[in-house]
């Protein structure tokens, strides 16, 4: 420690980046801790999983982001412990990190809700590695099917969860099957393959306006997706999903997009946790009885004002926390976090998306889709990534092709 106020930020997601950037001119030293050396643009993970984009299109090196920020350092390591009394963070590498202020922005992990078989027999979609695993699994399944004279349900897919991730995944898979794999594998019965979306509540995109939810479901059905709503999942076996009503959906690929819970780091604080294991915070996003500890984004919840687990609360929360740290250093009181709802969006594929904007404005169809494209390009980090994604989208749109469908060599 060199005597300057040290801020340790756990997590380099949307919230963590905004905290560090917001403190660029502050008289503090910052250490960013993340298990990976890159920031992931999670809203486009499904496009990696469906071969529309490659991994380096949606990921950006953390050190590159903070290369010119002299008061920021990066430690690539997993957090193994947090001691609030001693004000230290222990990681898998190096000595414990001492902190004056701690910001926890570690996000979420996939949650199986205690349903039997989910962990062992489904493919989650929460990380770059998850997205690549889904893409490789689908492509490998098709390759194996070319040697199989009796093809059953191997090419079928069940997507569990009808939120934005599940809807976008189902729509992306439909385009991949219909526009690309049908042509790549002319000897396989690709047109007979079933893609099924299962949602426990009575409609998909349950947080959206009902008219947009209905529009999204109708579009999915028009594009060949079997949509099952109002039916919880009872269990998952190898190659099959058992529904509460007794139906059994057999499939070679089962994607789990049904829910998340706070990352394990939340439990390391030893403070009170809310629903989904989220860290309970006050109105200024600090942890009660620990004013020098903040939690933001998906890993945090203010019980009096719960916010959706999407990018904007993390982005705005990160900016807010950076300001509060500076206010405390100046001897001022912290302020209440004032969240501005900027709306919600979900795409169902080519020329189709739904968007719910502030002021009650609703967009759908091609206009909603263009708005979705523009917003996601805007929030991507790095000019190279924006250019790559734009070129890939243009190529996919004009050629009906998906370029990112290479299988990595293995020792098998």
Q: Which residues contact 113 (CB under 8 A, 6 or more apart)?
A: 258, 259
* Active site annotation includes 222: no
List the beta bridge partners of residue 108: 262
Phi-psi map region of 69: left, alpha, beta (phi>0 left; psi -120 to 50 alpha): beta
- The torsion defined by the Cα of 134, 137, 139 and 140, in degrees rounded to 10, comes to 170
Do 108 and 126 meet the contact criterion of CB atoms below 8 Å apart? yes
Catalytic residue among 154, 168, 199, 217: 168
Give, in degrees to the nearest 5, the angle at Cα 241 between 238 and 243: 150
Separation between Cα atoms, residue 208 and residue 342, nearest integer Å:
13
- Report the distance separating Cα 105 and Cα 125, nearest Å: 19
Active site residues: 168
């Amino acid at each position: 420690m060199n005597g300057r106020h040290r801020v340790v930020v756990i997590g380099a997601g949307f919230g963590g980046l905004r905290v560090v950037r917001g403190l660029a001119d502050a008289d503090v030293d910052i250490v960013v801790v993340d298990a990976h050396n890159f920031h992931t643009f999670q809203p486009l993970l499904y496009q990696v999983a469906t071969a529309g984009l490659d991994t380096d299109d949606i990921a950006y090196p953390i050190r590159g982001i903070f290369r010119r920020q002299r008061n920021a350092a990066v430690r690539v390591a997993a957090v193994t412990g947090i001691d609030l009394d001693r004000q230290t963070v222990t990681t898998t590498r190096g000595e414990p990190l001492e902190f004056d202020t701690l910001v926890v922005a570690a996000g979420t992990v996939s949650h199986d809700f205690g349903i039997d078989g989910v962990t062992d027999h489904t493919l989650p979609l929460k990380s770059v590695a998850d997205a690549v695993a889904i893409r490789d699994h689908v492509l490998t399944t098709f390759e194996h099917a070319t040697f199989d004279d009796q093809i059953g349900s191997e090419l079928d897919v069940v997507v569990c969860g009808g939120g934005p991730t599940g809807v976008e995944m189902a729509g992306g898979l439909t385009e991949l099957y219909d526009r690309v794999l049908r042509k790549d594998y002319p000897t396989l019965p690709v047109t007979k393959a079933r893609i099924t979306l299962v949602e426990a509540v009575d409609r998909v995109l349950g947080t959206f306006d009902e008219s947009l939810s209905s529009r999204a479901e109708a579009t999915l059905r028009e594009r060949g997706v079997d949509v099952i709503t109002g039916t919880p999942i009872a269990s998952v076996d190898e190659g099959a999903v058992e529904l509460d009503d007794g139906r059994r959906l057999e499939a070679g690929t089962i994607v789990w997009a049904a829910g998340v819970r706070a990352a394990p780091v939340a439990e390391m604080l030893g403070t009170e946790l809310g629903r989904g294991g989220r860290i309970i915070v006050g109105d200024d996003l600090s942890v009660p009885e620990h004013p020098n500890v903040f939690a933001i984004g998906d890993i945090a919840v203010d019980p009096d004002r719960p916010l959706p687990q999407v990018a904007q609360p993390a982005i705005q929360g990160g900016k807010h926390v950076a300001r509060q740290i500076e206010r405390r250093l100046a001897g001022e009181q912290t302020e209440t976090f004032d969240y501005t709802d900027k709306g919600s969006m979900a795409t169902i594929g080519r020329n189709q998306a739904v968007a719910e904007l502030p002021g009650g404005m609703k967009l759908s169809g091609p206009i909603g889709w263009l708005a979705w494209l523009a917003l996601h390009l805007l929030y991507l980090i790095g000019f190279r990534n924006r250019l790559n994604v734009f070129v890939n989208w243009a190529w996919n749109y004009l050629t009906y092709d998906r370029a990112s469908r290479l299988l990595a060599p293995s020792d098998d």
